[in-house]
Structure 1
Amino acid sequence: MLGLGIDTGGTCTDAVIYDLDSRQILSHTKTRTTHADLTQCILQVMKDLPQDLLHKADFIALSTTLATNACVEGKGGRAKLVFIGLEPEEASRQAASYGLPPMEEIYCLPAHIPLDTAQITEPDWTQFRADLSVQFQNYDSVAITQLNARQNNGAFEKKAKEIIMEELGLPCITGYELFQEYNIYRRGASALLNARLIPVIQEFLSAIRTSLDQMDLNRPIVIVRSDGTMMSEAYACERPIETLLCGPAASIMGAMELCSEPNQVIIDMGGTTSDIALVKDGIPVRVTNGIQIGSWKTFVHGMFVDTFGLGGDSTICRDNNGVLSLDTVRSIPLCMLASIYPQVTEKIHKLNTDEVKHSKNLFEFYVLLKDISHSPLYTDREKQFCKALKDGPLLIREAAASIREDIYCFDIHRLESEGVVMKSALTPTDIMHIKGDFKGYDSTASQEAVSFLARNLKLTESDLCDQVYRMIRKKIFMNVLRILMKDSHPQQKDSLMEKLEFLYESAYQNACQEQTAFFSPDFKLNAVLVGIGAPVHVFLPEAAKMLGVKCYIPEFAPVANALGAVVGNISAEATIEIKQISSIGNADQYYFTGRPEYGFYDTLEEAEKAARQAAKQDASEKALRQGAADQLTVTFSSHEHSAMTNFGKMFLSYDVTASVIGHMQFSDSV
């Protein structure tokens, strides 16, 4: 079976054709991501692959940063959140800390839902119907979350959904359907975010289908989930929140496919950021409480990924003291810009000829990405500036002059942050071209910029390039130590962990010395550093040497993310909570929380046996909805919750979890 894997990242879109039977990459390619129209870059990578192999692909596997970006940028559809059984005053105190909107965008439906099921009272459904026409206008979806939903299996959520769809015809997402954990705020954030992302993922998949139609590829689509497993196209449309951080998850899966070492520290270095993940005994480390993106706290189960600002397109700059540094902001490499606009090289060369010394990096350009000429959201000054860029990129001095400002007062931060314009500057990609470690563009423009900057910093050009390399290796070294310490001591407060940076700095300085210091901190790592991403081979070996560990960079490291999109499987979990009911003079009995149809059991052993079957059925049904084939592998785990009292240990509850794994079913997916 052949799979076509496509990963759309912030800088590049990658594609591979992978033979799952022989476990071989048959072809791969890479192109720049076209953010204004993703169809362009997706079509381009497909056209760059051998067409005979492309049309033999049995399925298309996707990973994307679209949902993550929409979450961070606050984009998506307009969704109303309903809390059932939660007091408005309580909600107003907690909502913001979970990323939830202001209370005027949240509807609280009164209900009494204690942990004692006998005392549950239903909401006033008549009043709820009356409120819909007033408080739910101008929304295109609704997210519903109930307090203590386990107590009645989310019955009030289901009823509210039924009423909303009957009265308003709006699509509804219920929090208990997504996640069964108790925290109502995390479930609320998860449900609301999922509702907002539905139009985002539908638009993306529509663009994918358009691209496939143009290539005459009528194939089933699967999408990587946050934990590296797969889901069907239909399931992704229902639960787009499951795609949060699926790009890094795909990279981890690809790295594990390319490296068989049981313990790995995976470093994925891209154009914009670098991601670090951990694999222990062949299993990737996962987050414990759910993924957090920006201020949004969710119950999405995903892999542990730590992201920091370092990539091939990081901006090389200097501070007010003239010290060279790496900014986390992404810029277009000068060598890349010059390949599109030859005048870029000429302008920087003239700058070197005319300008002896300057405190600003005068070789930086501004490039127009979006047309805002008809948008009412921007000022006349901003529109005038963008109009000046329509004929091509401008040097910073030319750009400032276009709106009659000098380069010291020149500020177009809003246009940059909203992706209307972008800076082109000196980047590690330029330095790699100069040093011959990366080839793809003519390095003349890069060399001219280095010449200008080196002269202003009183460095040789060679010293400047070497210094940039050292900064990158140091950043990798420091972040690996930081993440390993965080993983080893998860209970420590962030404030304490931040104070350890001096220790990492001392370890780094010692690693740079040819002779061992009289005293120095030493860290030991029982794992292999695995590097993926296009530029990683240049920097990781030296960083690994400084850490005293083995480094492995697979042959197909630049496209490991696209490979990871192909090799995943289906997984699903379901948990049954067992509780105890007892009264004086009567024998104890056990029951399943919120599942009265399963009745009562005289012993915990009987209840656990029945819970296994119920959990297996629930997990299997979930896996089949995700697109799994019938053959599923099932494993069980259990955990008892108890408390110590003056009378000894008191039983609280007993959880039985079924985990199922299976392969994707493609025959009925087209």
Structure 2
Amino acid sequence: MPLLLGIDTGGTYTDAVLFHEEDGVVASAKSLTTRHDFAVGIGQSIEKVIATAKINPAEIALVSLSTTLATNALVEGQGGRVGLIMIGFDENSLDRNGLQDAVKDDPVIFLSGGHDGQGEPVADLDEKMLIKRLDQIGSEVTAFAVAGLFATRNPEHEMRVRNIILERTRTSVTCSHELSSKLDGPRRALTSVLNARLISMIHHLIEATEGLFGGLNITAPLMVVQGDGALISAEIAKIKPIETILSGPAASLVGAAYLSGLQNAVVSDIGGTTTDIAVLQDGNPRLDENGATVGGWRTMVEAVAMYTIGLGGDSEISVRQTGLELQLELGPRRLIPISLLAESYPALVHDTLDLQLNRSRYNELYGRFAVSVGREVAFKGALNILEQEMLVDLADGPRPLEKWLAKRKHHAALEKLVSTGLVMICGLTPSDAAHVLNLHTDWDRSAAEKTARLFAGNKNSKGYSIASSSQAMSEMVIDALVKKSDETLLAAALEGDPYLSPKLSETLLAGSTRADPNPFVDVKVNFKLPIIGLGASAHVYYPDIAAQLNTTALIPANAGVANAIGAVVGQVRVSVDATISKTENDYFRLYHSGEPKDFSTLEGAVADAEHILRVEAHGHAQQAGAGDVRVKFHREDNTAVIEGKEFFIESILKATAFGRPRIAR
């Protein structure tokens, strides 16, 4: 049997696993993720795992990649600058589904055109206005997103706009009808905007990975994990990066099922940036029928029903005033742990921290540094002069924020650099707290201890410090992470229950864990399912998390590389959809990826649809990298009974093609 190589590029670590379909995990390795050039961290992990297994790289028959990059980018609000083109919509459509928040201050072009619910044009496409606006903004954006009114009924105008954009700008274009066949134009537009925003990031990751293979003598094809746990070819992932949101979490769920052997469990994967929670039912991931929600946006991407929050080992720690006391808050932004930065810049970090510790008055910028990621990206051109100057200054190394942020305008410029993914902040994180408490021993404990001591200098309105020592401060951080994890697990479990609100989670947990129980009511929380804890730091947190919820925690062997394992044990799965409804003149109209087609009978429309969908699904699966492809066809007729008579509403048709990925021979 051939060897398969699974890779997971997370926010903090890049994991690699060599896997044999009969023997299981052959070897595994970890390296720090190198955001300035993903190829460095990926290459280090590949080289380590090959050296550990002592194999010839040419023996690798398939490489499969899962990544939290897209998920983290959306959670942290990063990505390229997008031009959104709305065909047939008015400006009020930006107020729906969070579309305006997703667009930010990126340019939006409104064009006349679009179609009605039966796929008929409602107005001519205004090509002259499109060309005029493209000439104005073409160089300002890294990608375009196109959404047309009822484009899922007839994609003609979206396709025409795409062709014009490619002719005049050669910039990548995302059309909404290619991402979803569902109605709700503003949500399709939202999904398209997020896809376009991610293209340059995912393209960079895939190019970096593929660029390694030649030098390492790996000739295997590259696959990427989708958000539903299925695999697609790297070429498709480049143009549909939105399909990779929740890629890492989905891979971890597939890996959890393989590693644990459990059929029913709650899987919680804590990474550097996010905690991802999902449910295994009968050995399969539970999917979200309404589309994946990431970073507060409900997309139209079919994915694992994943509850994702910005909480991880590298989460930013901040304080807020609650009454007279200070309360810790974690995330959603990811920082570079101070203990990790000190490994590369020991003199800078320790000299700065020592000076700050010798001062009597606390400053919120103490213990924090700005670090250039070092990435070369197209949207650097969108930076203003101050932002460009600050980025150049960071090229010589990290800068302490206390000295670097001299004026208010510098704060705003730094936020812009962070939001575009060009700069990261370094400061105190749960990973540092774990080092202070000797729960982690990988990096510089002394730097973590000094920064925790500085952070403990935060004072409440009474003038008292938030903690008495670095030890006490670190214990508070770990307790806060455990508490937040418990609340999130409860909220995820309650989500979708019509009788219980997810907002109950905090109240229930408080009643269950309070030191002085209520004398009249006994409040207990008992999780019915075991928790599978995944991630490199799972062993640190999940025993306590499970204990608070009165359940058991299973942390399987190789839990720290479950994502990489899940990347290679999955299969290609592609679905295409169509609908049939009646027209005003009693014909049956088939809506699919092409122009609508009319039939005199329902069965005639269904027969044609089945043929079209089977062919499309089979072809898409092959393009996605599947070998032996099988196709299943599903039909669901919706009818209504009115005054004792049954009336046809619509038929929903789906063809699903699946198979294991092709491997090198």
Question: Shift of residue 626 of structure 1?
Answer: 1.2
Question: Shift of residue 158 of structure 1?
Answer: 4.5
One-letter amino acid of the counterpart of residue 13, structure 1: T
Mark the CA change 1:68 to 1:503 in structure 2 (over 3 Å): closer, same or farther: closer
Partners of 1:506 and 1:485 in 2: CA distance: 16
Runs of 5+ consecutive residues of structure 2 not aligned to the other structure:
458-464
1:425 to 424, 427, 443: 427
Partners of 2:189 and 2:381 in 1: CA distance: 34
One-letter amino acid of the counterpart of residue 432, structure 1: A
What TM-score, normalized by structure 2, do the two folds share?
0.82
Contact map agreement 1:314 1:326 (CA 8 A) in 2: no
Runs of 5+ consecutive residues of structure 1 not aligned to the other structure:
none
Partners of 2:608 and 2:570 in 1: CA distance: 31
Mark the CA change 1:483 to 1:517 in structure 2 (over 3 Å): closer, same or farther: farther
Partners of 2:467 and 2:83 in 1: CA distance: 56
Question: Shift of residue 308 of structure 1?
Answer: 2.3
Contact map agreement 1:67 1:244 (CA 8 A) in 2: yes
**267-276 or 410-419: bigger deviation:** 410-419
Partners of 2:555 and 2:39 in 1: CA distance: 31
1:81 to 78, 81, 85: 85
1:480 aligns with 2:489: yes
- What RMSD in Å do the two structures reach over aligned CA positions? 4.1
Structure 1, residues 280-319: CA drift from partner, whole Å, max 9, x if none? 2222222222234447553211112222233222345555
1:240 aligns with 2:238: no
Mark the CA change 1:228 to 1:613 in structure 2 (over 3 Å): closer, same or farther: same
Question: Shift of residue 269 of structure 1?
Answer: 1.0
Partners of 2:106 and 2:433 in 1: CA distance: 50
Question: Shift of residue 569 of structure 1?
Answer: 0.8
One-letter amino acid of the counterpart of residue 181, structure 2: Q
After the TM superposition, which residues 602-641 of structure 1 pair with which residues of structure 2 at under 5 Å, given as runs? 611-632=609-630, 634-641=631-638
1:364 to 340, 346, 367: 367
2:539 counterpart residue number: 537
Question: Shift of residue 223 of structure 1?
Answer: 0.8
Contact map agreement 1:265 1:279 (CA 8 A) in 2: yes
1:550 aligns with 2:559: no
Question: Shift of residue 544 of structure 1?
Answer: 0.9
One-letter amino acid of the counterpart of residue 511, structure 2: S
One-letter amino acid of the counterpart of residue 509, structure 2: Y
1:592 aligns with 2:590: yes
Question: Shift of residue 653 of structure 1?
Answer: 0.9
**66-75 or 560-569: bigger deviation:** 66-75
Structure 1, residues 107-146: CA drift from partner, whole Å, max 9, x if none? 424355343x7xx358647x63x44542332437655544
Mark the CA change 1:277 to 1:351 in structure 2 (over 3 Å): closer, same or farther: same
Question: Shift of residue 516 of structure 1?
Answer: 8.7
1:336 to 315, 337, 340: 340
2:480 counterpart residue number: 471
Contact map agreement 2:371 2:425 (CA 8 A) in 1: no
Question: Shift of residue 424 of structure 1?
Answer: 3.9
Question: Shift of residue 658 of structure 1?
Answer: 2.5
1:206 counterpart residue number: 207
Partners of 2:474 and 2:431 in 1: CA distance: 11
Mark the CA change 1:624 to 1:77 in structure 2 (over 3 Å): closer, same or farther: farther
Mark the CA change 1:612 to 1:508 in structure 2 (over 3 Å): closer, same or farther: farther
Structure 1, residues 237-273: CA drift from partner, whole Å, max 9, x if none? 3322212232222222222221221222111111222
Contact map agreement 1:5 1:62 (CA 8 A) in 2: yes
Contact map agreement 2:115 2:151 (CA 8 A) in 1: no
Structure 1, residues 550-602: CA drift from partner, whole Å, max 9, x if none? 2110111111122222222111112332335798xxxx875634689987475
| SS of structure 1 residue aligned to 2:563 | helix
Question: Shift of residue 63 of structure 1?
Answer: 2.2
Partners of 2:365 and 2:587 in 1: CA distance: 78
1:148 counterpart residue number: 150
2:25 counterpart residue number: 25
After the TM superposition, which residues 254-273 of structure 1 pair with which residues of structure 2 at under 5 Å, given as runs? 254-273=255-274
1:665 aligns with 2:662: yes
Contact map agreement 2:622 2:629 (CA 8 A) in 1: no
Question: Shift of residue 171 of structure 1?
Answer: 5.8
Mark the CA change 1:281 to 1:160 in structure 2 (over 3 Å): closer, same or farther: same
Partners of 1:498 and 1:534 in 2: CA distance: 29
What TM-score, normalized by structure 1, do the two folds share?
0.81
Mark the CA change 1:123 to 1:627 in structure 2 (over 3 Å): closer, same or farther: farther
Contact map agreement 1:274 1:310 (CA 8 A) in 2: yes
Partners of 1:379 and 1:174 in 2: CA distance: 34
Partners of 2:365 and 2:157 in 1: CA distance: 63
**233-242 or 566-575: bigger deviation:** 233-242
1:186 aligns with 2:187: yes
Partners of 1:472 and 1:92 in 2: CA distance: 36
1:438 aligns with 2:445: no
**Percent of aligned positions that are identical:** 26
Partners of 2:47 and 2:13 in 1: CA distance: 15
Mark the CA change 1:204 to 1:404 in structure 2 (over 3 Å): closer, same or farther: closer
After the TM superposition, which residues 508-523 of structure 1 pair with which residues of structure 2 at under 5 Å, given as runs? 508-509=513-514, 518-523=520-525
Mark the CA change 1:462 to 1:616 in structure 2 (over 3 Å): closer, same or farther: same
Mark the CA change 1:94 to 1:418 in structure 2 (over 3 Å): closer, same or farther: same
Question: Shift of residue 44 of structure 1?
Answer: 2.2
Partners of 1:109 and 1:143 in 2: CA distance: 16
1:642 counterpart residue number: 639
Mark the CA change 1:626 to 1:468 in structure 2 (over 3 Å): closer, same or farther: same
| SS of structure 1 residue aligned to 2:433 | helix
Question: Shift of residue 474 of structure 1?
Answer: 1.3
Question: Shift of residue 166 of structure 1?
Answer: 6.7
2:462 counterpart residue number: none
Partners of 1:346 and 1:104 in 2: CA distance: 45
Partners of 2:5 and 2:176 in 1: CA distance: 33
Rg (Cα) greater in structure: 1
Mark the CA change 1:169 to 1:109 in structure 2 (over 3 Å): closer, same or farther: farther
Structure 1, residues 466-489: CA drift from partner, whole Å, max 9, x if none? 333322221111111112112323
Question: Shift of residue 341 of structure 1?
Answer: 3.3
2:571 to 569, 572, 577: 569
